[in-house]
Structure 1
Amino acid sequence: MSQPIALSSEVPATCRACNVRHAGMCAVLTAAELATMARSARRTQHAPGEPLVVEDSKLTSYANVTDGVVKLSRVLRNGRQQVVGLQFAPDLLGRLFGRENLVNVEAASEVDLCRIPKDVLEQLVATNPVLKQRLLDQSLQDLDEARDWMVTLGRKDARQRVASLLLLVARRCGAPGIDDPDRVVFDLPLTRSDMADFLGLTIETVSRQISRLRHEGVVQVANHRHVVIPSLPRLETLAG
């Protein structure tokens, strides 16, 4: 059974002003469910590099990414960090019905979160099959991306890895050109060090491959972070 559409006048004011009100899990909630969640949710803002969740800590709340990009990482026994994923608006942070946080979560860019107590969201999921399916779809998307990334790290060369990462960010948070839909613009949310950790490369190799892509006209980079992809199909081809 489909969920009734929440009329704009019935939706809490905080939700009406939200960037992802019509995306992600909130898009399938009724006005009453949004009101239930809004009563206990809190909005938080975070600067780049700020820790959001600590690995192995008790899971007491979930968070909907309403703006920005976060990075997920694990810390090895020798203290080295491995970036294992990125999440974008409107992704949900936290393993549903889990007891512990399995990864470290850090703001990769300026990030806005809508934090929801664990019991509140889990109760909504238990009573709303459409919401359960929406969150299952996100989990399956995360699994598909993880499998794709296994191929990237296991079989692609350095140039293809860097192109694959740029393609991932372009697809998830890039803004298409007004007159050319193949042109995409975005601010890269990762430092060269983070990119190296994510790709299994050295910082020097990442910088060298970005310079190579610039010389080939595949990307344009200003101030190390502002990226223009003149032709997304060309980047897709180079990413393999």
Structure 2
Amino acid sequence: MHRYRTDAAWLGTARCRNCAIRDLVLFGDLRDPDFGLIQLPIDELRIEPGAALYHVGEDGGSLYTIRSGLVKLVQFLPDGTQRIVRLLRCGAVAGLEVLVGRPYEHTAVVLQEAEVCQLPRAVVERLSKETPRLHARLMERWYQSLHQADDWLTALSTGSARRRLARLFLKLAADCPGEPVRLSGREDLGAMLGLGMETASRTIAEFKRAGLVRETMPNVFVCDGPALEAVDREG
């Protein structure tokens, strides 16, 4: 796993309080006295594409807040193939399952260079017990994770290849309005949609010919939202 720290470990008091994305992340509702409960170091890490935050089955000692970049959660099927069950962007939390004593349920792999905060499980558990605001935020994140997983399963695993791909482009475009949609490659695309790589590549080519998407750089697309919505409505 290739990673390097952007800063030395810190106790979080000043950095969490002044975090630029604090309203998005797990500690967003903490107040000044709460930061005194943080007594283990929180590491701020920059992680290269292709590296893993953690692997499925590992006993987890940390949660991760995504500060920037893109991370995929991968599930490996019995036949050896992989399925991408979610994409995590800025503000998302990975590894919540460790709070109930479970090993990591997925492998978390960085798709686009990511900055993350590595939160020791003991810190989050203590804050959850002693700070009702954080406990409420944790419950909200549990719900969001379940909802997103159900949403991905429903939207990206059902219907024709054309409808699945249209829904994926619409979801990714909605995540970052006004910005091009970035995909990491045809193999990952197939793993997100439950399609073979050849089918995924063929469907992308069809969309490009029809003007539904325009590839400005390799795996970077400008989308025609209304046209993609029309594809999603196809019977």
The CA deviation at 1:230 is: 4.2
Determine the C-alpha separation between the residues in 2 that align with 1:98 and 1:162.
36
Equivalences, count: 220
| Aligned residue number for residue 202 of structure 2 | 208
- Normalised by the length of structure 1, the TM-score is 0.81
Q: Deviations over 1:191-234 (max 9, x none)?
A: 21011012111222222222222333332222223222343x54
| Aligned residue number for residue 185 of structure 1 | 179
| Aligned residue number for residue 55 of structure 1 | 56
Pairing 1:217–2:211 present: yes
- Normalised by the length of structure 2, the TM-score is 0.82
Once superposed, what is the RMSD of the aligned Cα atoms? 2.4
Change in 2 beyond 3 A, CA 1:19/1:207: farther
Worse overlay, 142-151 or 198-207:
142-151
| Aligned residue number for residue 15 of structure 2 | 14
Q: Aligned AA for 2:220?
A: H
Counterpart of 2:231 (choices 223, 226, 238) is 238
Determine the C-alpha separation between the residues in 2 that align with 1:41 and 1:25.
13
| Structure 1: runs of 5+ lacking an equivalent | 1-10, 177-183
The CA deviation at 1:91 is: 0.9
| Aligned residue number for residue 69 of structure 1 | 70
Query: In the alignment, is the contact (CA less than 8 A) between 2:156 and 2:192 conserved in 1?
Result: no
The CA deviation at 1:110 is: 0.7
Which 4+ runs in 1 deviate beyond 6 A? none
| Aligned residue number for residue 135 of structure 2 | 132
Determine the C-alpha separation between the residues in 2 that align with 1:98 and 1:213.
44
Determine the C-alpha separation between the residues in 2 that align with 1:31 and 1:218.
49
SS of the aligned residue for 1:193 comes to helix
The CA deviation at 1:186 is: 3.1
Determine the C-alpha separation between the residues in 2 that align with 1:38 and 1:193.
42
| Structure 2: runs of 5+ lacking an equivalent | 1-11
| Aligned residue number for residue 196 of structure 1 | 190
Q: Deviations over 1:122-153 (max 9, x none)?
A: 11112222222222222222222222233234
Determine the C-alpha separation between the residues in 2 that align with 1:35 and 1:230.
49
Q: Deviations over 1:142-181 (max 9, x none)?
A: 2222222332345311011111112222222x1x3xxxxx
Change in 2 beyond 3 A, CA 1:43/1:187: farther
SS of the aligned residue for 2:112 comes to coil
| Aligned residue number for residue 7 of structure 2 | none
